[in-house]
Amino acid sequence: MSTRRGSRLPLLLIAPSVVVLVAALGYPVAWQVRTSFQHFGLRQQFGQPPDWVGLDNYRALLRDPQLWTVVVRSIAFCIVCAFATVAIGGAIAVLMKRVAAVPRVILQVALLLAWAMPVVAAMTVWVWIVDWRRGILNWLLVKVGIDGAAGHNWLAEPASFFAVAAVIVVWMSVPFVALSVYAGLTQVPQEVLEAAELDGASGLQRLRFVVMPLIAPVLSIVLLLQIIWDLRVFTQIKLLQDAGGVVNETNLLGTYIYQLGTGRGDFGTASAVSIFMLVLTVVLSWYYVRSLMKEES
């Protein structure tokens, strides 16, 4: 009897949290699913009942070439940013493991400060850096002899716009990856590294064949999280668009949904794109989820 009570106790303890999460997350998702099958426009915001249209919103999306352009653009941006973030964050984690205590603490504090900075506050600084009239980036480029940089608008062209956006997104995400990977590196047994060194393995070989396999679960988790976060990035892109980007040429899925819903008042189609984005996130992350489940079992 005591064993049964002990086995039920963890379930009873987590039950309130599960109920709160289901209520907080389940209702918005259910509302989105329902609205995606309706025509929910400006009239419905003023009290008119929505019209049930079934799969019409999804059919319209599948025939919309702009959606597929945004999807391809979002996936490419997501993959580039996620892998760049993990690579740079992993390199910084290795650096923190190698340096002395004082530089390590300074680097960790700097990472925490960058990570803790509110997104809007950080974007205010970044927008000032790339501003074509009084930005420090153009000023520095002119100082080093690049005269064509004077008055150059980095947000006017989609290529340079996404280059700036990628730098900002990676900069904001690197601290989390670096600190997570560093925590994994601290768990690597020193005896294993010493044995590999005695066997003649170089530093690069120890990192590749000993350290990385041992911290593979950490790398998989942070890469999975980065793919999810970078696919639904919104604030950075929206604020850069407001600062001078061409909206229709720089939309990602997050800003495209915002444009459909808040901009055009077509919440039915916006909800359909949201559900499509949820399915796309599951598809992109399914391989890593399966890998984590296999390792757990």
Joined tokens for residue 79: 């993959």
What is the amino acid identity at position 236? Q
Report the candidate in 235, 229, 234 with the shortest Cα–Cα distance to residue 285.
229
Residue 1: what pLDDT?
47
Q: Rounded to an integer, what is the distance from CA 37 to the centroid of its chain?
A: 28
Residues 108 and 125 sit within 8 Å (Cβ to Cβ): no
Residue 3: what pLDDT?
53
Angle in degrees, CA 108, 109, 110, rounded to 5: 90
Partners of 51 in beta bridges: 39
Residue 272: is its pLDDT beyond 50? yes
Residues 6+ apart with CB under 8 A from 107: 92, 95, 96, 99
Residues 94 and 207 sit within 8 Å (Cβ to Cβ): yes
Long-range contacts of 226-230, Cβ-Cβ distance < 8 Å, separation of 24 or more: 226/81, 226/82, 226/85, 226/86, 226/173, 226/177, 227/78, 227/79, 227/82, 227/281, 227/284, 227/285, 227/288, 228/281, 228/285, 229/173, 230/77, 230/78, 230/81, 230/82, 230/85, 230/169, 230/173
142-151 burial by CB neighbour count: b if 16+ within 10 A, else e? eeeeeeebee
**pLDDT tens digits along 8-32:** 888 888 888 888 888 888 888 888 8
Residue 52: is its pLDDT beyond 50? yes
**pLDDT tens digits along 239-258:** 999 988 888 889 999 999 99
Joined tokens for residue 85: 């973030």
In CATH terms, is domain 71-296 a member of 3.30.365.10?
no
% of the chain residues with pLDDT over 90: 28
Joined tokens for residue 169: 């997104």
Q: Look up the pTM and report it.
A: 0.84
- Which pLDDT band holds residue 80 (cuts at 50, 70, 90)? very high
d(CA 142, CA 135): 11
What is the amino acid identity at position 134? R
Mean pLDDT for the chain?
85
For residues 135-140, average pLDDT: 87
Q: Domain ranges for the chain, please list them.
A: 1-32, 71-296
Q: How many helices (H) and strands (E) does the chain have?
A: 16, 2
